[in-house]
C-alpha cells in the first residue's frame, strides 16, 4: 500500500507493537503511514522512487520474552530478559504478580522470580493490549501447578486448547468446555512423550518437561523452531537439562 496510487485504509487493524514498529520503519523509508497502533491505519501512496534505505532496529520479541518469564515463574528463577519494553507485556506482568511472582523491570529488561507457591488466577485472552493468546499455553502451564483452581478463557485462537490434552498426559487436571478451560492445580507433573500442537504449545511443553519428574520427550518440534531461536541453548544456559535429539538417534 505504501507505493499504491491513492490512499489505502485498513480497518480492524491489529494493534500490536510490531505493527507500530513496521509503520515506523516504512515512514523512515519515506512512506506515509498513520494510525498504527489503532484499529484504523491509513496509508497514503508515494512514488516508488521516493523511498530510500534506512537503518532500523526492530522491537524485541515480547512473546519470547514472556515465555522465558513464565519459565522463571515456573522454576522460581530469577530469570532476566533483556531487549524488551516492559509496557509490551503489561497484562502478563500483572498476571505473574497475581500468581505470587516478584517481577522487576527497567527501561529494556524484566526479571521474574518466585519464593512462594504459585497462586491460581483467571486469564482471558484478548487482542492487544489485552492478554496475548500467544502466552496462553505458558500461563495454563503455570495454572496447572498453582495451589487452587484457575479459569482460562480463549477468545482469539480457537485451536489453542489442543495443548491442554498434551499437558493432561503429564498429569495436569484440565477440563475444557467450549472456549473455557477449568484448571485445577496439581502437586507435580510426570515426564512422558508429548507432541507440539502449535508453536506456543511446544515451547510450553518443553518448560513443563523441565519441572516434571523423569524424562519428557517433546515431538514435532518444527513448530518451536518457527518462533524461538536456539530455544534449547538458551534454556541450557539457564541450567535446564534440555537437548535436541534426532528421531531414531542412539541417544
Q: What is the CATH number of the domain that holds 146?
A: 3.65.10.10
For residues 95 and 131, give the distance between their C-alpha atoms in angstroms, rounded to a whole number. 9
> Is the pLDDT at 249 greater than 80, yes or no?
no
Q: Rg (Cα) of the chain, in Å, rounded?
A: 20
Confidence of residue 250 (pLDDT cuts 50, 70, 90): very low
User: Which of 54, 48, 6 minimizes the C-alpha distance to 26?
Assistant: 54
Please state the rounded mean pLDDT for residues 52-77. Answer: 97
User: Which of 140, 225, 221 minimizes the C-alpha distance to 185?
Assistant: 140
In this structure, are 98 and 43 located in the same domain? no
Structural element, H or E, at residue 100 = none
Please state the rounded mean pLDDT for residues 57-82. Answer: 97
B/e letters for 48-77, b = 16+ CB within 10 Å, e = fewer, are eeeeeeeeeeebbbbbbbbbbbbbbbbbeb
Please state the rounded mean pLDDT for residues 155-169. Answer: 91
Specify whether the CB–CB gap between 154 and 179 falls below 8 A. yes
In this structure, are 193 and 226 located in the same domain? yes
> Is the pLDDT at 67 greater than 50, yes or no?
yes
3-state class of 40 per DSSP?
strand
* Total number of domains constituting the chain: 2
Please state the rounded mean pLDDT for residues 75-100. Answer: 97
Average pLDDT of the chain? Answer: 95
Whether residue 208 is contained in a domain is answered as yes
In this structure, are 104 and 78 located in the same domain? yes
Per-residue confidence (pLDDT) for residue 248, from 0 to 100: 53
Confidence of residue 7 (pLDDT cuts 50, 70, 90): very high
Whether residue 28 is contained in a domain is answered as yes
**H helices, E strands: number in the chain:** 8, 12
Q: pLDDT by residue (tens digit) across 183-213?
A: 999 999 999 999 999 999 999 999 999 999 9
In this structure, are 86 and 132 located in the same domain? yes
Per-residue confidence (pLDDT) for residue 245, from 0 to 100: 83
Per-residue confidence (pLDDT) for residue 16, from 0 to 100: 96
**Structure-derived torsion over alpha carbons of residues 70, 71, 77, 82, reported in degrees to the nearest 10:** -70
> Is the pLDDT at 247 greater than 80, yes or no?
no
Which residue's entry shows cell 516508488? 48
In this structure, are 139 and 21 located in the same domain? no
Please state the rounded mean pLDDT for residues 163-186. Answer: 96
Whether residue 247 is contained in a domain is answered as no
In this structure, are 33 and 89 located in the same domain? no
Whether residue 177 is contained in a domain is answered as yes
Q: pLDDT by residue (tens digit) across 18-49?
A: 999 999 999 999 999 999 999 999 999 999 99
Please state the rounded mean pLDDT for residues 163-175. Answer: 97
In this structure, are 25 and 101 located in the same domain? no
For residues 109 and 185, give the distance between their C-alpha atoms in angstroms, rounded to a whole number. 30
How many CA atoms are closer than 13 Å to the CA of 189, on its beta-carbon side?
Answer: 32
Per-residue confidence (pLDDT) for residue 158, from 0 to 100: 78
Per-residue confidence (pLDDT) for residue 251, from 0 to 100: 35
What sign does the CA torsion over 92, 93, 97, 102 have?
positive
- Going by C-beta distance under 8 Å and a sequence separation of 6 or more, which residues neighbour residue 196? 202, 205, 218, 219, 220, 221, 222, 223, 224
Whether residue 2 is contained in a domain is answered as no
Which of 105-109, 119-123, 130-134, 246-250 is predicted with the least confidence, judged by mean pLDDT? 246-250
Give the domain range for residue 112: 62-237
And the C-alpha cell for 142? 503455570
Q: pLDDT by residue (tens digit) across 110-122?
A: 999 999 999 999 9
Amino acid at each position: 500500500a505504501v507505493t499504491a496510487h491513492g490512499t489505502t485504509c485498513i480497518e480492524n487493524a491489529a494493534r500490536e507493537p510490531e505493527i507500530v514498529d513496521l509503520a515506523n520503519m516504512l515512514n523512515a523509508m519515506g512512506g506515509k503511514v498513520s494510525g498504527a497502533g489503532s484499529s484504523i491505519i491509513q496509508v497514503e501512496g508515494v512514488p516508488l522512487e521516493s523511498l530510500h534505505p534506512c537503518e532500523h532496529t526492530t522491537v524485541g520479541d515480547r512473546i519470547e520474552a514472556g515465555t522465558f518469564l513464565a519459565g522463571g515463574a515456573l522454576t522460581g528463577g530469577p530469570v532476566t530478559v533483556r531487549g524488551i519494553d516492559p509496557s509490551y507485556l503489561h497484562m502478563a506482568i500483572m498476571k505473574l504478580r497475581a500468581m505470587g511472582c516478584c517481577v522487576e523491570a527497567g527501561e529494556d529488561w524484566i526479571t521474574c522470580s518466585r519464593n512462594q507457591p504459585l497462586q491460581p488466577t483467571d486469564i482471558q485472552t484478548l487482542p492487544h493490549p489485552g492478554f496475548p493468546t500467544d502466552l496462553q499455553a505458558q500461563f495454563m502451564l503455570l495454572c496447572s501447578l498453582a495451589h487452587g483452581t484457575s479459569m482460562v478463557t480463549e477468545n482469539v485462537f480457537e485451536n489453542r486448547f489442543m495443548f491442554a490434552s498434551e499437558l493432561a498426559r503429564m498429569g495436569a487436571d484440565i477440563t475444557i468446555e467450549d472456549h473455557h478451560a477449568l484448571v485445577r492445580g496439581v502437586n507435580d507433573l510426570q515426564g512422558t512423550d508429548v507432541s507440539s500442537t502449535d508453536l506456543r504449545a511446544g515451547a510450553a511443553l518443553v518448560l513443563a518437561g523441565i519441572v516434571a519428574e523423569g524424562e519428557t520427550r517433546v515431538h514435532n518440534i518444527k513448530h518451536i523452531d518457527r518462533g524461538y531461536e536456539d530455544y534449547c541453548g538458551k534454556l541450557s544456559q539457564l541450567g535446564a537439562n534440555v537437548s535436541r535429539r534426532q528421531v531414531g538417534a542412539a541417544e
